Amino acid sequence: MHRKNEDNVNTSVHDNNIPAFIAQKEQCQLPNEILIEKPTDGSYAPPSPHSSLLQAVGYASRDEYENYCKQYDETQGGFTDEWKYNKDGECGNWQEKYIKLHKKNMNILEKYKKDEFPSDIKVEERPRFISYLCKEVPKDSNRGCGGLADRMGGMISTFFYALLTDRAYLLNWAEMNPLPLEDIWERPHIEWSHDPKEMELLFNDEENPLLGYQKVDLLNRKYKDLTATMFPDGGNTELKDLWNGTYVEVRSNRGFIIRTFQISQKYKKILNKMGLTKENAFKCITDFLFRPTIGSRRFLNAYKSLFEMESVLSIGIQIRTDDNALANPQYDLNGLEKWGHFLKCAGDLAKFKRKAHHKRIVFFLVTDSAHLRNEFVSLNENKDLAKKYLDEDIAESSSMVITGLPIEHIEPEQIAKYIEVEDPKEINKARMQPGVNSAYMENWLLGLTQYRVISVQGYGKMASFYSGEDMTSISMPRSGRNNPPICSTENSFTTFNWLSTQWSLG
């Protein structure tokens, strides 16, 4: 990736005229490609990060490059797999108490499975459970769980309810819709894996007062309908009173976390005492429930470490074109000619937010169009084209970065119900695992940038929530519908409150 010129200066192989840093004896050197060792546990093995990542790292200061380089050790599997959670209490103080409750309930569940029902359990104090279920969708139905944003909204909000109502939380995606969750994430703090059929068979008992089974369907609920369901008494609603089944099975693609902070002062105070706020709740719960598998952690950390450099201003750009680009990529003609206003907005934002210590601007693109992604990353070499969308000073000091991960929709069979797919692919683990993992990995990376320019739909919104920082995203109107916002003022940023009224709600 880097080589020394005759003056002992490391230069990028993409531009021999731009010195990256002064090399010193025994200085750490990155290879031409960041390799990620294939996990021995059979979990997802991501490819190497795209070459645009190392190209951007090459512009770091000497110390930042050194610190980055030290996180890479090919003999230890590649980039570091460290994944911190709540080390400084940034996610509050509720985890230990909830883990204890969850384990207690799950231990009693194991007794129930053996037909053992302890006589010392009082009915009103019986352990309760709630699960999120994403079922296989019948071929003649459109009531699927949705894409990643829909599912994340439902999953995280269902746990949010469990936390506030003292229920053990369980989670399941049907094996072929599109993968079992256990193939995507590790379970770092609680065991949420379960067999839905076993649970229904066990709890669907009207005679035993310790049991009881209840289905809740929140799929596709609109704003007013969902609000009326979750908060029938407005701010006076007692969440425990909503559903009385000992075991509640929820199907949902809707979120209601932000709304809880808005509507209920009672629960807002409870949550704040736990250390959860409107800003951090989504991210803190997500990272509590899910840890990337080891290969994915290495991949994510390679990008995360770039975004965290003090000399870097990182701006994510998320462009949702349409499902046609996913269904029939051979006809994908999306490009900057159509979507360049996103990059222009990001450039204006960079100029607005850039500080003296920001020596490099990193624009990180996530999109459903491979054609658009390829044209975007080509701007690293084609500065003349870059200057069509960016001011000259921004264009000359910016790096375009992508992951290069496969682009897939996690519900391809649902797309095929309204778009003719010319080259349908078989739905199996080998086919779906890369695309499903890349969908969440890119979403989390988008959330780890300092600012974002996002499409109005749900995917970018979830990244905004995952960022844990309100007022750091600019939501762009759909192409051709409205004039894009002025991206160089504080008024251009969208709030979590507004985002929670949109796609998949919040």
pLDDT category at 323 given cuts 50, 70, 90 is confident
Of 292, 317, 338, the last residue of a domain is 292
- Give the per-residue pLDDT at 141: 62
List of residues 6+ apart from 441 with CB closer than 8 A: 46, 292, 296, 299, 300, 403, 405
**End-to-end Cα spacing for the chain:** 42
Question: 11 and 100, same structural domain?
Answer: no
Averaged pLDDT for residues 166-186:
93
Tens digits of residue pLDDT in 450-484: 999 999 889 999 999 999 999 999 999 876 556 77
Domain assignment present for residue 330? The answer is yes
Tell me if the bond preceding 178 is cis, omega within 30° of 0.
yes
φ and ψ at residue 301, rounded to 5 degrees: -65, -30
In this predicted structure, the answer to whether residue 6 has a pLDDT above a threshold of 70 is: no
pLDDT tens per residue, range 19-77: 444 444 468 999 999 999 999 999 999 999 999 999 999 999 999 999 999 999 988 88
Instruction: Give the contacts of 229 (CB within 8 A, at least 6 positions apart).
Output: 218, 221, 242
pLDDT digits (tens, 9 = 90+) for 227-280: 999 999 999 999 999 999 999 999 999 999 999 999 999 999 999 999 999 999
Residues 70 and 219 placed together within one structural domain of the fold: no
Amino acid at 75: T
Hey, what amino acid is at 462?
M
Q: How many CA atoms lie within 13 A of 478 on its CB side?
A: 6
Distance CA 505, CA 477 (A): 17
pLDDT band at 15 (very low <50, low <70, confident <90, very high): very low
Say whether 130 sits in a helix, a strand or coil.
strand
Q: Examine residue 88 and state whether it is found in any structural domain, yes or no.
A: no
And the tokens for 133? Answer: 């279920």
Element holding 316 (H helix, E strand):
strand 312-319
What is the per-residue pLDDT for 483? 77
When pLDDT is averaged across residues 413-427 and rounded to a whole number, the result is 60
* CA contacts within 13 A on the Cβ side of 84: 8
- Helices and strands in the chain: count of H runs, count of E runs: 19, 16
- The secondary structure of the chain in percent helix, strand, coil, rounded to multiples of 5, reads 40, 15, 45
| Residue 298 in tokens | 């290495």
> From CA 147, how far away is CA 166, in angstroms rounded?
29
Q: Which amino acid is at 101?
A: L
pLDDT at 497 over 50: yes
pLDDT-based confidence at residue 175 (cuts at 50, 70, 90)? confident
Mean pLDDT for the stretch of residues 97-104: 99
480 assigned to some structural domain:
yes
Does residue 173 form part of some domain? yes
End of a domain among 292, 320, 355? Answer: 292
Q: Both 201 and 315 in a single domain? A: no
Residues 343 and 492 in one domain: yes
Of 368, 391, 365, 395, residue with least CA distance to 380: 395
Query: What percent of the chain has pLDDT above 70?
Result: 89
Please state, for a pLDDT cut of 90, what percent of the chain lies above it.
78
Question: How does DSSP classify residue 219?
Answer: T
The answer to whether residue 58 is domain-embedded is yes
pLDDT at 419: 57
pLDDT value of position 19: 41
| Run of H or E including 366 | strand 360-367
Residues 264, 384 within the same domain: no
Same domain, 327 and 187: no
Nearest Cα to 299, choosing from 29, 52, 69, 78?
78
User: Mean pLDDT over residues 1-26, rounded?
Assistant: 42
Q: Residue 146: which of 316, 323, 278, 285 has the closest Cα? A: 323
Residue at a domain's end among 250, 274, 292? 292
pLDDT of residue 224: 93
Tell me whether residue 99 is in a domain: yes
The answer on 277 and 312 residing in a single domain is no
Task: Assess whether pLDDT exceeds 70 at residue 417.
Answer: no
Q: What are φ and ψ of residue 407, in 5° steps?
A: -110, 115
Residue 273 CB neighbour total at 10 angstroms: 11
The mean of the pLDDT values for the chain is 90
Are 236 and 382 found together in one domain?
no
Contact 196, 167 (CB under 8 A): no
Same structural domain, 311 and 184: no
- For the stretch 376-389, pLDDT in tens is 999 999 999 999 99
Q: Does residue 504 form part of some domain?
A: no
Residue 298 within a domain? yes
Question: Same structural domain for residues 314 and 447?
Answer: yes
The number of distinct structural domains making up the chain is 2
Query: Do 308 and 368 reside in the same domain of the chain?
Result: yes
What band does 432 get if pLDDT is binned at 50, 70 and 90? Answer: confident
Average pLDDT over residues 212-238: 95
Query: Do residue 100 and residue 245 come from a single domain?
Result: yes
Residue 2 or 287, more confident: 287
| 8 A C-beta contact, residue 385 and residue 464 | no
Task: Quote the domain boundaries for residue 304.
Answer: 2-80+293-499
> How many C-beta atoms lie closer than 10 Å to residue 381's C-beta?
13
**pLDDT tens digits along 332-379:** 899 999 999 999 999 999 999 999 999 999 999 999 999 999 999 999
